[in-house]
Amino acid sequence: MKTRIVGLALLLLLGCSTALHADPIAITSGQFSITNSLTGAGPMMLSSDRFNIGMFVLSSASPSGFCFTCIPGQNIDFSLRAGDFGGGAGAIDGVSYTGLEIGGHLDFQTTAITLPSVIPVGTVFDYDLPFHLSGLFVAIRRDREIMNVPVIGQGRLALSLRGIIPDQNGMSTFVARDRSVFTFGSTPTPTPEPTTLLMMTAGVALTARRFRTRERDL
């Protein structure tokens, strides 16, 4: 009787797990370039074992710790969220597409840095910062959703800041120089899918119960 109850409970648990999200897709390579302004638009390429898509980011949002005209000695975080995409094209699950509508959101989390306390005018400071990506990638064509998956990734952010002529208060500041580039590198290993974890747990539990029952019979 107890075995039946345990079995029914596990079946119900597995049934409910279908509503949980699948494993995130690991981005293995690609770039996201931001031109002129650290919050401006730029091209993006995302590649994984399931898709290879090129798109254009129309705008991006940054957290409160971000600065464009940065003050000497300021602690800043260049993390941002990309969520306003233009059209895209590429291959998804081995099928080529054009005229894709790209949606979702992509969060780039970087390491915070502290700027130098002295900024000579014209001096350029180059940074190479690690970043982690997490978000949701959605691709639609002709009102048909082709892909809707969580994504993860990691890589390096390369950016340059330069000192500019002091303002009317005599304060020297930094501005972004040229472009900033997020380049994907090695990716984190996706965590096991919830359904897979539940099935593994169920198998271990049933095996352990069977051994206990056998020991009592002996």
- Contact predicate 145/102, CB 8 Å: no
Residue 198: per-residue pLDDT: 45
**Is the pTM above the cut of 0.75?**
no
Q: Evaluate whether 56 touches 183 at the Cβ level (below 8 Å).
A: no
pLDDT in tens, 4-30: 444 444 444 444 443 345 789 999 999
- Distance separating alpha carbons of residues 79 and 7, to the nearest angstrom: 47
Average pLDDT, the chain: 77
pLDDT tens-digit series, residues 59-98: 888 776 676 677 788 888 888 899 889 899 999 999 999 9
Handedness of CA 88, 109, 66, 64 (dihedral sign): positive
Residue 195 near residue 18, CB atoms below 8 Å: yes
